[in-house]
Amino acid sequence: MKSLSKMIISSIFLVALMLANPLIGNATTTLPAKISEVFPDDGLADAIASNLNVTVDTVVTEDTLASIDLFQIQMRPVSNIEGLQYLTGATSIDLYSGGGIVDLSPLSELTNLTRLDISRNKITDLSPIANLTNLTSLEVVENYITDLSPLASMSKMVYFSMVNQKITNPEINYATFISIPNKIKDVDGTIVAPSTISNNGVYNSPNVEWSLTAYNSTLSYNYSKIVTIGNSQGYYSGVVTQPLKEIEVAYTADFDVDGAIVETESVQAGELVSAPANPTTKAGYTFAGWYDAKTGGNKWDFAVDKMPANDITLYAQFTIKNDNGGSATVDPTTPDNPEKHDKGKNSKTNIVVSNGASTKASIKTALPKTGDSRLWETFVIGMIFSASGLFLWKKRS
């Protein structure tokens, strides 16, 4: 029982000690320790070893690290700057082009710093360096900075550069109207207005707004302003990108029969529209199909035609039936005033019978047509007889 009590008391004491001293446990490495243990980032450990002219397996003390005055990573890839809090004597730290640095917390107590270059990283928050009021030179080029207000107390500043910030907002769903808050802040906390806005967007302070007619994968706006920090002026500029997620939008297909909507479908753009039941046949008409216009237009092919990215109305069209059960063709009718043809003067002869009764008999006395072949036959025979007679007459003479 006593052993159990001692174990519980020891555990409580150890936890309390770890909470009271952040240097115990997993928060940091207790010195002395190897450089590779103090600086878990390989690139940073290599840069420290190079600065001290030793290897990463060399054991270092707090005093050794505190003696470093000027430190630079010399463009080594670095994403974690844990361990730099031990460089308490440093006046200049150059983390230019580390590429992956996000958290500046290890620098928060390095109040001897007068120069700091953290350009070309992924830094979004400058508040960890707000207490470094001895800084006279600060470079934060090509990061993700949206707020300069943490730098308001740096009264000794003589040079700074904050250009080419690249901010990407979290993705939102596409809509025909997009409005996002402008979060770019000056040193005094005021909003920095956009200088240009993509896709014909407008600035309705404090929001940037777009009215869209079609899907865009991204929207953006740029900003650029001369700001003052301490005794220095410089440009604060960048671009804010707003990614948009394409969502499946359903559009309405209405089916119109003689001016009445008989059915409505919700269809996504690019999908086939389902063919509705044919409308009730009107007397004397045949259903011809669904068209994209009340009259004329194009017949909708439900097996091929796809829904456009807008609402549509399809109209039922009909054709007139004829007596034979067909459609579109109307039966011909007898003319109201039929044309009368003259039959000729010699086509009929009236004959009077002796008993006084009158009877009409149609006797066709049609003359031979012009050029009838019988005339030529008569002429030829006549010529033959004439020639024969002339021959006999001469012979007798």
**pLDDT mean over 321-329:** 60
Burial 106-135 (b: 16+ CB within 10 A, else e): bbeebeebebbbbbbbebebbebbeebeeb
Percentage with pLDDT > 70 across the chain: 75
Among left, alpha and beta (phi > 0; psi -120 to 50; other), residue 48 is alpha
pLDDT band at 323; cut points 50, 70, 90? low
Q: Is there a contact between 242 and 169 (Cβ–Cβ < 8 Å)?
A: yes
**pLDDT mean over 227-239:** 97
Residue 12: its pLDDT value, please? Answer: 47
> Is the predicted pLDDT of residue 106 greater than 50, yes or no?
yes
**pLDDT mean over 375-396:** 63
> Is the predicted pLDDT of residue 352 greater than 50, yes or no?
no
Report the chain's mean pLDDT, rounded to a whole number.
84
Of residues 305, 247, 249, the one with CA closest to residue 272: 305
Residue 283: its pLDDT value, please? Answer: 85
Higher-confidence residue: 305 or 331?
A: 305
Q: What is the pLDDT of residues 287-310, one digit of tens each?
A: 999 999 999 999 999 999 999 989
Q: What is the pLDDT of residues 134-172, one digit of tens each?
A: 999 999 999 999 999 999 999 999 999 999 999 999 999
Residue 387: its pLDDT value, please? Answer: 67
Q: Is there a contact between 82 and 100 (Cβ–Cβ < 8 Å)?
A: no
Residue 376: its pLDDT value, please? Answer: 54
> Is the predicted pLDDT of residue 13 greater than 60, yes or no?
no
> Is the predicted pLDDT of residue 9 greater than 60, yes or no?
no
Size of the chain, expressed as the number of residues it contains:
397
CA distances from 294 to 153, 260, 263, 297, 298 (A): 72, 12, 16, 7, 10
CA distances from 153 to 132, 150, 156, 182, 229 (A): 9, 7, 9, 24, 8
Give the chain's domains with CATH numbers. 17-143 (3.80.10.10), 163-247 (2.60.40.1220), 250-320 (2.60.40.4270)
**pLDDT mean over 235-243:** 98
- Chain centre to alpha carbon of residue 201: 16
Rounded CA separation 270/171 (Å) = 24
Residue 325: its pLDDT value, please? Answer: 55
Residue 281: its pLDDT value, please? Answer: 75
Rounded CA separation 7/2 (Å) = 9
> Is the predicted pLDDT of residue 348 greater than 50, yes or no?
no
